[in-house]
Amino acid sequence: MDTKKKVFWSLFSILLAGLTIWAVFSQSEGISVSELIESAKAGDKKWLICAVICVLLYIWLEGVALCSILKGAGYKRNHFKGLLYSTSDIYFSAITPSATGGQPASAYFMIADGIPAGVATASLILNLMMYTISIVVLGIISVFINYRLFFDFRPLSKFLIIAGFIILTLFSLFFLSFLRRGDKAFDVVTRFVRFLHRKHIIHRLEPRLEKIEKTRIEYTECSEIISGKKSTLFKAFIWNFLQRTSQIAIPMFIYLMLGGQVQKAVSIFAAQCLITIGFNCVPVPGAMGIADYLMVDGFSSIVGREQAFTIDMMSRGLSFYICVALSGIITLLGYIIIRRRRANK
């Protein structure tokens, strides 16, 4: 992993997070951190516990999904290693534009655990495909729950939701195509490496080509095995669906903790499904700022603007800021352990 890039994006994300929190508080008509803490203390603790459990499930279930896929490919790994694959993906996805750092970071830990690079690549592509499909499916479910919610959003929010639905659907089709015919991408990589060699930018061509070919063979074999196992595909979808549901349910439980009504809580869940589609198409680290805008916009028509700000700040505090911080700590500890093991060999 490029350490300098990771440090840069970590610092940039901290700055962006600070600006986002300041912007939300400045628009929230006097809501302060102390008021949020008091609201949490006075709220129904069982719903707060449910929200915290959802955060932990969100982290844990991605690891379960990846381990399930790897097991289907013939590489059984325990769920504690899966937790490291998950936290590295969550942390680096949150601090890089368009979540570009998540999958490479997760692949790093998989390869460190002895999983071939091609197998890691195919597994991560399948998981990302199921992750994307789950968001689309939840968006469709939200329409059946309350189709009128979409029309309560502002024009910009409607545009982001429609764009997100189209982009995520296209991504799902792309991932499916890449999973089945991804070996062609290795031909592109091979031609590019040959070009760099001709321009004397890189040297020692043959070892590089051998490594690419080895990865291509591993990838092809793994994708064929996974694609032929419907049970593996089904399990991957279910685990990803549950993971997305656990995260999307957090604002609903925060609303119930604040004394909300069950009927409106269901509408909060449905609105959050659409909100998740909307901010997933924006290339901003962690969708910071965009997610908050959509949440306040979507929740205001259900519970009013002031409570919408409260739900946004408390649920984002749990589902994003605390979740990312926890994932970062676990990832750092895992990285230190791996480095020490290598140093002792």
Give the residue among 169, 158, 155 at the shortest CA–CA distance from 278. 158
- With beta carbons less than 8 A apart as the criterion, state whether 31 and 25 touch: yes
How many DSSP H helices and E strands does the chain contain? 16, 0
d(C-alpha 150, C-alpha 161), whole Å: 9
- With beta carbons less than 8 A apart as the criterion, state whether 130 and 236 touch: yes
Residues in the chain: 345
Q: In order along the chain (345 residues), what is the average pLDDT of each group of 10 residues?
A: 61 67 62 72 88 95 92 85 91 74 84 86 86 91 90 92 90 74 70 77 77 72 69 89 95 93 93 91 76 90 88 88 89 87 75
Q: Name the DSSP letter for residue 285.
A: G
pLDDT of residue 10: 64
204 backbone φψ class: left, alpha, beta (φ>0; ψ -120 to 50): left
d(C-alpha 100, C-alpha 115), whole Å: 21
d(C-alpha 167, C-alpha 319), whole Å: 23
Which amino acid, one-letter code, is at 144? Answer: F
| N- to C-terminal Cα separation, the chain | 21
The owner of tokens 């071939």 is: 116
d(C-alpha 41, C-alpha 6), whole Å: 36
User: pLDDT tens for residues 220-233?
Assistant: 766 766 666 778 88
Structure tokens at 30: 């006097």
d(C-alpha 109, C-alpha 147), whole Å: 42
pLDDT of residue 237: 92
Give the residue among 25, 13, 20, 109 at the shortest CA–CA distance from 66. 109
pLDDT of residue 252: 95
pLDDT of residue 202: 76
d(C-alpha 112, C-alpha 174), whole Å: 28
pLDDT of residue 187: 73
pLDDT of residue 72: 84
pLDDT of residue 63: 93
d(C-alpha 285, C-alpha 271), whole Å: 22
Q: What is the DSSP string of 23-88?
A: HHHHHTTT--HHHHHHHHHHS-HHHHHHHHHHHHHHHHHHHHHHHHHHHHTT----HHHHHHHHHH
| Beta-carbon count within 10 A of 105 CB | 23
